[in-house]
Structure 1
Amino acid sequence: MFKGVLFDLDGVIADTSTLHFDAWKKLVNNYFSAKLPDSLEEKTKGVSRGDSLKVILNYLDVSVSDTMFQRLLVEKNQTYLASLENLSIKDRLPGITEFITELKQHEIKLALASASLNGPAILDKLELRDAFEAIADPSKVPYGKPAPDIFIAAAKALELNPRDCVGIEDSSAGITAINHSGAYSVAVGTHPELKAANMLLASTAELNLDTIRQAYPHN
């Protein structure tokens, strides 16, 4: 059976992914007097802050200086952090508490493999920090998702081969990253681009050990 589970954060453990896009919308409205379509959100999910901004600027067909680029990154993060002030245990997504409890009961190791630099602080607010044996630092890997680096780093932090791990994601970039790392990919969500996952579940409420264990190919 698999020995570790590598979790994405936004949209998997807590519904913070919508807060990211809301922050981008405010930023674009303030600086460019423009609106972002909801359809663009999927392209900004699971990737780094800088890569998200590149997607947005490309959509707007706008170029900015390096100084302005960094300013936009800082301001977006400040807006996002402000939206997290009231985040608490009640913001865990459905089924996550039970799933994590089940994994811990079976001595399966957990690692966070999120592109968010705010991951540790968010886990603290959700009162889940102690459940994770490792948190991969996205600033320490060469390439962000869809490259596999963060999932390889998360598995290594657990002293495991990615092949012995399950990765859980809600973004197409994240699923690509898991697949390329060698881990078994589980997607939660209904977006068509998630079909590249080894297992597709409609929501986090469907996450449970038996379902994944039965499908896991290396039993």
Structure 2
Amino acid sequence: MLKGLIFDLDGVLTNSAVYHLTAWNNLAKELGINLTDDQLDSLRGISRMDSLNLILKYGDQEDKYSEAEKEKFAAEKNTKFVEQVEKMTPADILPGIPELLSDAKKQNLKMVIASASKNAPKILTKLGIMDEFDGIVDPATLHHGKPDPEIYEKAQELAGLNADEVISFEDAQAGVQSIKSAGQFAVGIGDKEVLKEADYIVPTTKELKLSEIESVFNKK
């Protein structure tokens, strides 16, 4: 029986993912690394330092910088990202999400955020939906990034629920893999080939209908 929903943030509740990717792309260029679209897309859903290390790997610069220098690069990227976040308003909530959250509230479902972003509380506050959620996984408590299941397992624990009682939402391949490794029902938002491991897939958030997702969930 469905008792809770777990959400990634960037690219699921709002379009802040584009701010992340732009900030990473600009940093990569400063380091003399030109990322392909696929390489840039692979940064979706993974932590700050994992993203930076991946960029350095793409540019064959893995051993070029010290940990202190890497921390400085990540901080610079985050500063640029936060500048964009400060401009966010409730108008930046993606289509279909307000209705989904409203339907979930009517069913008294628990709702938790499972995002690798340390800026999740700030973003949710800017969007005006912070109070809709029962908890937010603190990325600082995690030992492994997506696709490891840890973040979704922690989100499930925060909700006080079992794996078969939740539906989790993701827009990134690593995120869907994380959900499935946690034994949960995965809703993928985006390209059906990229997110083919998900149990239910829609091209955009506009097509998210809780009753339809629940119908598929109940048949699993």
Asked if TM exceeds 0.5, the reply is yes
| 1:50 has 2:38 as partner | no
- Matched residues, number: 218
**Counterparts in 2 of 1:159-170, with a 5 A limit?**
159-170=160-171
Equivalent position SS for 2:160? coil
Superposition deviation, residue 122 in structure 1:
0.4
Does the 8 Å CA contact 1:4/1:109 hold for their aligned counterparts? yes
What's the counterpart of residue 59 of structure 2?
Answer: 60
- Give me the CA root mean square deviation: 1.3
**1:188 and 1:41 mapped to 2: Cα distance?**
18
Does the 8 Å CA contact 2:166/2:184 hold for their aligned counterparts? yes
Percent identity over the alignment is: 35
**1:34 and 1:60 mapped to 2: Cα distance?**
5
Does the 8 Å CA contact 1:2/1:218 hold for their aligned counterparts? no
**1:46 and 1:184 mapped to 2: Cα distance?**
18
What's the counterpart of residue 11 of structure 2?
Answer: 11
What's the counterpart of residue 93 of structure 2?
Answer: 92
What's the counterpart of residue 22 of structure 1?
Answer: 22
The amino acid that maps onto 2:214 is: R
Equivalent position SS for 1:58? helix
**1:77 and 1:191 mapped to 2: Cα distance?**
30
With the length of structure 2 as denominator, give the TM-score of the two structures: 0.95
Equivalent position SS for 2:115? coil
Equivalent position SS for 1:111? strand
CA 1:131–1:97 in structure 2 vs 1: closer, same or farther (change >3 Å)? same
What's the counterpart of residue 111 of structure 1?
Answer: 112
Gaps of 5+ in 2: none
Superposition deviation, residue 201 in structure 1:
0.8
1:49-102 deviation per Cα after TM superposition (whole angstroms, max 9, x unaligned) = 011111111111113111111111110100110111210100001100111011
The amino acid that maps onto 1:91 is: D
The amino acid that maps onto 1:200 is: I
Gaps of 5+ in 1: none
With the length of structure 1 as denominator, give the TM-score of the two structures: 0.96
What's the counterpart of residue 38 of structure 1?
Answer: 37
**1:200 and 1:191 mapped to 2: Cα distance?**
6
**1:169 and 1:85 mapped to 2: Cα distance?**
24
What's the counterpart of residue 184 of structure 2?
Answer: 183
**Counterparts in 2 of 1:130-209, with a 5 A limit?**
130-190=131-191, 192-209=193-210
Superposition deviation, residue 185 in structure 1:
0.3
